[in-house]
Amino acid sequence: MRPRHTTLIGCLVLVSALQGPGTAAAKNSGGLSACDYRANFGDVPCREVDRSIAESAAEFRVEETELRRIVRCESRFDPHADSGSYKGLFQQDSGYWPKRVTDFNRHEDPDVSGDIYSPFDNARVSARMVAGGLDDHWPNCG
């Protein structure tokens, strides 16, 4: 007969192994990772959401943590978030979105397709806005 504490430790080790290596990092991210909220957002894995933010921050040389705070506040990292006229990761205003995409594509390469629900399009356009000093578009989340 195995001692009770040995069985408990064995169970904890098994649970830890099943959770995988990314779980410890997610718990230490302070809620600033998409994987802290869900493994998948419909057809978009949490790691792709995180990658879209990290790459956009690097591309436009803005603080990744600042972008993550905005996204956590606006959409809880859900690229399909929809709050009326506000949509996507950064809750871009759908009324202004076409103009922002046109302006982005005129000045940046590669272009964005303009899919407001694409985490990559939404993050790139938003990161460019933050880099340009337009972070006042998220007054409650900065």
| pLDDT score recorded for residue 21 | 43
In the chain, the amino acid numbered 60 is F
Q: Report the alpha-carbon distance of residue 70 to residue 141 in Å, rounded.
A: 5
| pLDDT score recorded for residue 142 | 63
In the chain, the amino acid numbered 99 is K
Average pLDDT across each block of 10 residues of the chain; the chain has 142 residues. List them in order: 46 40 49 94 97 97 96 97 97 97 96 97 98 92 74
Q: Which residues pair with 82 in a beta bridge?
A: 87
Tokens of 81: 């978030």
In the chain, the amino acid numbered 8 is L
Q: What value, to the nearest 5°, has the Cα angle with vertex 116 and ends 114 and 120? A: 80
| pLDDT score recorded for residue 141 | 85
Instruction: Work out the end-to-end distance of the chain between its first and last CA atoms, rounded to an integer number of angstroms.
Output: 57
| pLDDT score recorded for residue 112 | 96
Q: Report the alpha-carbon distance of residue 54 to residue 125 in Å, rounded.
A: 13
Tokens of 142: 């900065």
Cβ atoms within 10 Å, residue 121: 24
Q: Which CATH number fits domain 31-137: 1.10.530.10, 3.40.50.1110, 1.20.1440.230, 3.30.1130.10?
A: 1.10.530.10
Q: Report the alpha-carbon distance of residue 50 to residue 140 in Å, rounded.
A: 21
Which residue in this structure is represented by tokens 């809620």?
31
Tokens of 117: 């629900």
